[in-house]
Structure 1
Amino acid sequence: MYLNQKTQLFLLHFAGGSCYSFDFLKNDIQNNFECHALELPGRGRRNQESHLFKKEDAVHDYVSQIKRLRKSNLPYLIYGHSMGATLGLSVTKKMEEEADSPTMLLVSGNAGPGVYVNDIERHTLNDTEFKKELRSLGGVPEQILEDEDLYNYFSPIMRADFQILEKDKHFEAGLILNTPIFAIMGDEEKTVSEIENWKTYTNRQFDYKVVPGNHFFIHRQVKTLAKIIKECAADSLVGV
């Protein structure tokens, strides 16, 4: 039984994100959680490291970070948005295999593996088409797309992340967790009708919530998102 202790919360960023991608959320949850915003190499505090291009390598990197930061006396949750949700599924499975499962996996901005908007390999697009695709996704400031220096810094990060997602789409085939999953999506997202796809990836409890907004609803629904995370943390500890 965990008594009067904070829950650890490991945050996995979206494509192009970094350890700073969840700064908008921290003020609303830091009193309840010990927050760890993780990041893949090639951006943020790890901008001097080489990018990763394989899903297996990205999962291994995240697992290594979590194992290094884990406090065995505390419960923990994993929360990933978009790319972070996809990787979070495999990261959670690896942590189960380490006999150190999270009490819940939270995923957002993603209807789960096997659900695709299109078959475009975005990491192979030329710059004109790539910028068009980034604008359609939202979440990328126009200043980055218009400023040549900013775009030249940001583009390789995005292309590497998209390659991670697009080159091994069957990586999660047959993967089933023994950890509960809670999914969140914006009601304007193209695949929101398939959010219950996530329940096929767990033997445990599954629940979901659809909130107003697009793929990056997280920036406009901060209070709602924080409330969901807190409730999931509380619910996942019942009976522990």
Structure 2
Amino acid sequence: MAKKQIFLMHYAGGDCYSYRFLTPFLHDTEVHTLELSGRGRRINEPLQSNFKDVIEDTLKQIRKLLSAPSVTLYGHSLGGLLAFNVAAALEKEYKGSMKLVISGNAGPFVTRETSWHTLSSENLISKLRTLGGTPDVILDDPGMFGFYELIIRSDFRVAHEMASWGQEKINTPIYCLMGSQEEHAGRIDNWANYTTGNFRYQLVPGGHFFIYNYPKLIAQHLLSDQV
């Protein structure tokens, strides 16, 4: 049995392959890349646009795999909010030690002025270009974007509703990373309001998808037992 398990939760529009840049740096531990329905390995399953269903679906994936005495949950952007809510539920049933690492998200009730899932296709493409992370080959091809748009809109809706949902504090310690150029980077310490455990954060140069430039840094925090 592994001494530690790491569960990775992807960002909006992502899938189980979104952390291929990161997993080579996660040595000597058991890593599981989780996935929302309607994409990747789960392409034949319907998309879920209710955030509570998404949380429960993710919990089911973890419960089937959970076996180690130590667990780290990691999520970027939407995945960060999802990991937080998963931690809140797991605290009630998991007896081992748990740690939460979040990137690209300033926490509950820190939302965009406009809900991106309500934007026109043209405006959504513009926002995605600015945000980064979505290949131009998808944004420039109407056919490819038409398919991807269904996924990203569903995920943005889930993220918006999850960020706007009241949540009590968790006991799990939180470490948060954000890019210094992100829209809400100045509010990164908002996460301190949602844990009774240790909280630390770090701002690094870059925008929302700074993670691609810092795989070693992220891996370091995922592998460490400390926050």
What's the TM-score bracket when you normalise by the shorter of the two chains? over 0.9
Which of 213, 222, 225 is the matching residue for 1:220?
Answer: 213
**Structure 2: 5+ residue stretches without partners:** none
- Deviation (angstroms), 1:163: 1.0
Deviations 1:98-133 (A, max 9, x none): 2346521110001111112x3212112221111011
The equivalent of 1:235 in structure 2 is 226
Q: Which amino acid aligns with 1:41?
A: S
The equivalent residue for 1:137 is 131
Are the counterparts in 2 of residues 92 and 102 from structure 1 also a CA contact under 8 Å?
no
Secondary structure of the 1:24 match is coil
Which of the residues 36, 46, 52 maps onto 2:48?
52
What's the secondary structure of 1:78's corresponding residue?
strand
Between stretches 4-13 and 175-184, larger displacement belongs to: 4-13
Q: Does the C-alpha gap of structure 1 residues 80 and 10 become closer, same or farther in structure 2, counting only changes over 3 Å? A: same
2:58 corresponds, among 44, 54, 62, to 62
Q: Is the 8 A contact 2:16 2:34 kept in 1?
A: yes
Counterpart of 1:41? 37
Tell me whether 1:111 sits opposite 2:106 in the alignment: yes
Aligned match of 2:93: 98
TM-score (normalizing by structure 2): 0.94
Alpha-carbon distance in structure 2 between the residues aligned to 1:58 and 1:24: 24
Give the 3-state SS of the residue equivalent to 1:103 in structure 2: strand
Query: 1:213 deviation in Å?
Result: 1.3
Aligned pair count?
Answer: 227
Correspondences of 1:171-182 after superposition (within 5 Å): 171=165, 173-182=166-175
1:174–1:164: structure 2 CA closer, same or farther, 3 Å change rule? closer
Q: 1:169 to 1:218 in 2, by over 3 A?
A: closer
User: What SS does structure 2 have at the residue aligned with 1:77?
Assistant: strand
Q: Contact (CA 8 Å) 1:12, 1:39: kept in 2 or not?
A: yes
Partner of 1:87: 82
Q: CA deviation at 1:168?
A: 5.2
1:182-205 CA deviation, whole Å, 9 max, x = no partner?
101111112111111001100111
Q: Which amino acid aligns with 1:58?
A: V
Q: Which amino acid aligns with 1:150?
A: M
1:64-96 deviation digits (Å, cap 9, x = unpaired): 00001111x431110000000011111100111
2:73 corresponds to which of 78, 95, 99: 78
User: What's the counterpart of residue 9 of structure 2?
Assistant: 12
Equivalent of 2:150 in 145, 156, 169 = 156
Root-mean-square deviation (CA, aligned residues, Å) is 1.6
> What's the % identity of the aligned pairs?
37
C-alpha distance in 1, partners of 2:75/2:130?
21
| CA distance 1:101–1:114, change in 2 (3 Å) | farther
Structure 2 distance, partners of 1:145, 1:5, is 41
Q: Amino acid of the residue matched to residue 149 of structure 2?
A: S
| Cα separation, partners in 2 of 1:102 and 1:143, compared to 1, 3 Å | farther
Opposite residue 150 of structure 2, the aligned amino acid is: P
